[in-house]
Structure 1
């Protein structure tokens, strides 16, 4: 396949994947939109049914509250005292007026929600009232301009929500014409009941959802929230507002707030978005939200009862259902894609299985051919391993012999000093022994005994000189133990004491017994120290100041640093790089083989430490033996047990 064809195949594959992804996205969006629309439609249907149910309940409650006192004006029209007062037109404060006033007072007291019961003459003036005992009573008030008086004086009963100008208190007015049978049923006055609407308001204010009653002019009479009272459903002109205030709402401000509700359209249910002051009255959580408004005409009145239901829960639930529909569609698509991919995987697995079987057959043939080669190779490797083990054993033995040779070489260097140390006690032993024989011949046993005791002490002294040499020269494998570093330094200095004094070397041993303990072999550590101290003494042969410093310190990692420093010529940089190479030496020909430092480093590394060479500040060289620290005595015994 050419490069162009390969590129076209990749481009076609990429386009198909993009097309599939866009198609899946479109399906998910469509499912979400359909789920949202269906849920919203069903939710709005339930919200309308709930609104109609609330309208039924509120309409029944309002009608029962209103109808409960509608018969009272009819009772007044039949009362003889009331007719007598209207026929004779008694003056204010007359006995007949007082009789009627007390009757009206008793009648009003029987109905808790009635604010006032009063009688008007044909001129619209109040001639008797149940609130006569109050200072702000209605007696003498002129209500001729009110609609309920004008309708009743014309012969028709009338109901009106209004605010009287005397007590400045709203109420629902029931007006009934009073006819006199003596005057051929002529209208001689009007009986009016002013009912309280507080019970209805209290019932509405306990509801969670807003509701209101508006009259035929679109003025809100009762409302929850109460801030909507005296608002208008639709904007009114200034002339309309002025006329309504004069005839019905004396002392009240109308038209300052418009709710923007079409009461006729709301009978089927409409969605209204409240903003501005109406939204603020609903409270911050509902500000700017949409409400479903349902309305109904109250029977027997021109009033409109309206209930409002927030559509936010419906739309929230619709969003949830839309998301659920999209998720369900996504799950279905994923299942289909999974089944499709699973089928592809099974097909590919069958192909791979067939290919593997063919490859296994071919591989088995190759394995059989290679097995013989591998067998021969393994045999060769086994022979090489045996030979290598033999070589390692030979090398280890050679290293042991080399260590022992190093010890013997050191003993050869120490022979002169040891001979001198032994000559003096040997001469004294010979003299004292001869003297003891002579004293015994003389019979002086006490003096002979004292000479022999001195001989014993000198013998012990000679044994003390020879014992470290025997221990040092013994050929034995390394056995690590808890070694006092100061003791090992003391043993090495003891062996080199004579040679150091002859060379004029001043020894500054700062190691304190019992202060630092290391886990190593005492004999081999002593050998390393003898080698380093001997090299330091040789390095200071041509120096006026010959000072040897030995000190031990604890390292940050817990190990022991044992330093041997001299005041010699120091170590050049070129020498430092090759110092531990076998057969490399800075001494003259015939004075050394160049194996001492190499052997010493191998010995220290066998302990788990290291040997470091560096130049000393102020001149000279310093060799630092890094040793592992030993555990405490109790811990060591625990480990051994």
Structure 2
């Protein structure tokens, strides 16, 4: 027996719930069970698929055979009816040439072709042909020349035509009955020729011939192809006109030569049908495909001999109905098989489901009994846990009160820190205007002593402007603390640069300052800060732009202190949407470890008392509030480079005029 751990009702039960003894359970690896299940399922699926294939194949074979047998029976019935009709017609006219040859007038005219006897013979043959309803009746002398015919009145009369080449003449002259189908050499109409020898005094003196038109024959039943072939296999009667005078099989050259010699089919080209045998069936039946390609029609071809003459009747029945029936039966059988399999699968799953429900119900009852036993045990555990939770709640309440007091102290400390930052910012921003005031006041005193009152007046006006500027700086420092939104204004860049350079004029002594302007991709040109650029405005107010420029230029002047040939380059790059003011120096540059922290408040690399580390932080804040940015980097040729990017503001007419008057 092993101890089975109980799953606790809460996290607090784990330590207090005692372990229970339970029976040992043997486990089978899950991957082995899964592999066995997968193997059984694959075998079952393979068996079902094999059964489906076998059932469909058997259904197809049985339906196909039944359909072919039905087609053969129907073809046999149709062939019997057609053969009987054809043979009765041929037998009805088989004795007519003999009767004609027995008439004394016919015998006399063949021996002595007197004109009056020939005329009488023509009228006799015309009368016999009309009553017998034959096509043409005529007699031929022993030398092959026709001397009388029923069509003696027609332009294409057979009288005077040589028939020595015709097989039916040769057969009759040898004492037999001639039977022949061919195309007439005079009328060019196909017909069946029956001939009998004409004897007088036991000697053959000529031949009597009857021609029958059998073109009516295929029209008796044209629902499906019906053919009649001669002894050579040439189709001379067909319900499909395009198949006439074609052969069911290729003919040997000797047979073709014989047909041409007898002019049996005149000038008609004798070519085989485009038929191929796909399957040979017992009992003179084949499955043939008529034409090339997969869509060519297929027929069940059955053949029977007509006896005398040596003709064959060929019936062709389309097997498309058999294919459709076999396909439909196979599909229905397949659906039925799949339905049975699905029903069996459903029945098996239902049985498994019922067993699972019964097993689950038994397990649930057992678990319910165990739960009732454990409720009492858990009640005591929950009571103890409730007491512990109450103690924890009291402790947390006391900790929250202490946290609120600490937060109040932190808020007060942050207020004091903000006041300190503001005071430090005011001190940093006012240092440069105060230095300029002192410089202007010293110059004013000198101008007054010299009597240069105009220059003194200008300095006093500058001192007034600086005083006003210092007041604005004190008001604008709240942007760093309060993050106020800037006013929508246009600041002329040239004027801001001129004022900033004027404020730093004393520190710029001995420093070379280069100013360039690049407008919309044009080549750089020198920038004259005293000239008016009415369309070179930034979206900012004058004071903020000058404040940023003074801070950046002041840092550049600090960087070139002590550098031989100090130089500061100011380039303005204008595009349709932005203005980028770059300030570069030839100082030592910015250390790599300083760049990430360059715009942090109170971060400075200067010595104590030379800077508070707020200039770049305030400048960056001003640039962001105006919708722009201030970046710093080291130039490839050495030194540091600061770029102030602001949105460009197109000047209106009033602003352009005011800028032009500066």
**TM-score past 0.5 threshold:** yes
Q: Cα–Cα, structure 1 residues 374 and 16, in superposed 2: closer, same or farther, change >3 Å?
A: farther
1:272 maps to what in 2?
286
In the TM superposition, what whole-angstrom CA distance separates every residue of 1:324-346 from its partner, at most 9, and x where no partner exists?
A: 53344335434543565577678
C-alpha separation in 1, matches of 2:318 and 2:351: 51
TM-fit CA distance, 1:146: 4.4
1:305 maps to what in 2?
313
2:536 aligned with 1:515: yes
Q: Cα–Cα, structure 1 residues 414 and 49, in superposed 2: closer, same or farther, change >3 Å?
A: same
TM-fit CA distance, 1:29: 0.6
**Alignment equivalent of 2:550, drawn from 530, 543, 561:** 530
**Alignment equivalent of 2:488, drawn from 453, 460, 482:** 482
1:421 maps to what in 2?
440
2:424 maps to what in 1?
405
- Give structure 1 stretches of 5+ with no counterpart: 433-450, 634-641
2:150 aligned with 1:99: no
C-alpha separation in 1, matches of 2:185 and 2:210: 15
Q: Is the 8 A contact 1:570 1:615 kept in 2?
A: yes
TM-fit CA distance, 1:623: 1.4
- Give structure 2 stretches of 5+ with no counterpart: 1-24, 516-526, 653-662
Q: Cα–Cα, structure 1 residues 220 and 463, in superposed 2: closer, same or farther, change >3 Å?
A: closer
C-alpha separation in 1, matches of 2:74 and 2:425: 111
**Alignment equivalent of 2:237, drawn from 222, 230, 233:** 222
Q: Is the 8 A contact 1:137 1:166 kept in 2?
A: no
C-alpha separation in 1, matches of 2:447 and 2:113: 168
Per the alignment, in what secondary structure is the counterpart of residue 228 of structure 2?
Answer: strand
Q: Which moved more, 1:610-619 or 1:26-35?
A: 610-619
Q: Is the 8 A contact 1:604 1:627 kept in 2?
A: yes
C-alpha separation in 2, matches of 1:545 and 1:298: 128
C-alpha separation in 2, matches of 1:210 and 1:527: 107
**Alignment equivalent of 1:284, drawn from 287, 292, 303:** 292
**Alignment equivalent of 1:543, drawn from 563, 568, 574:** 563
1:440 maps to what in 2?
none
2:169 aligned with 1:161: no
Per the alignment, in what secondary structure is the counterpart of residue 488 of structure 2?
Answer: strand
C-alpha separation in 2, matches of 1:350 and 1:514: 89
Q: Cα–Cα, structure 1 residues 113 and 588, in superposed 2: closer, same or farther, change >3 Å?
A: farther
Per the alignment, in what secondary structure is the counterpart of residue 481 of structure 1?
Answer: coil
2:228 maps to what in 1?
213
2:642 maps to what in 1?
623
**Aligned positions of 1:317-332 closer than 5 A:** 318-319=326-327, 321-332=329-340
TM-score (norm 2): 0.65
Q: Is the 8 A contact 2:447 2:455 kept in 1?
A: no
Per the alignment, in what secondary structure is the counterpart of residue 500 of structure 1?
Answer: coil
Q: Cα–Cα, structure 1 residues 466 and 325, in superposed 2: closer, same or farther, change >3 Å?
A: same
Per the alignment, in what secondary structure is the counterpart of residue 284 of structure 1?
Answer: coil
C-alpha separation in 2, matches of 1:377 and 1:607: 47
Per the alignment, in what secondary structure is the counterpart of residue 501 of structure 1?
Answer: coil
**Alignment equivalent of 2:33, drawn from 9, 29, 32:** 9
C-alpha separation in 2, matches of 1:209 and 1:24: 42
TM-score (norm 1): 0.67
Q: Which moved more, 1:90-99 or 1:143-152?
A: 143-152
Q: Is the 8 A contact 1:146 1:247 kept in 2?
A: no
**Alignment equivalent of 1:494, drawn from 499, 502, 510:** 499
Q: Is the 8 A contact 2:144 2:162 kept in 1?
A: no
1:130 maps to what in 2?
150
Q: Structure 1 or 2: larger helix share?
A: 1
**Aligned positions of 1:174-185 closer than 5 A:** 174-175=194-195
C-alpha separation in 1, matches of 2:466 and 2:262: 143
Per the alignment, in what secondary structure is the counterpart of residue 29 of structure 1?
Answer: helix
TM-fit CA distance, 1:297: 6.1
TM-fit CA distance, 1:218: 7.2
C-alpha separation in 2, matches of 1:624 and 1:145: 117
**Alignment equivalent of 1:21, drawn from 17, 41, 45:** 45
Q: Is the 8 A contact 1:129 1:139 kept in 2?
A: no
CA-atom RMSD, angstroms? 6.2
TM-fit CA distance, 1:118: 1.4
1:470 maps to what in 2?
471
TM-fit CA distance, 1:307: 0.6
Per the alignment, in what secondary structure is the counterpart of residue 15 of structure 1?
Answer: helix
C-alpha separation in 1, matches of 2:651 and 2:350: 67
C-alpha separation in 1, matches of 2:623 and 2:276: 103
**Alignment equivalent of 1:293, drawn from 295, 301, 314:** 301
C-alpha separation in 2, matches of 1:106 and 1:388: 142
**Aligned positions of 1:599-614 closer than 5 A:** 599-605=618-624, 609-614=628-633
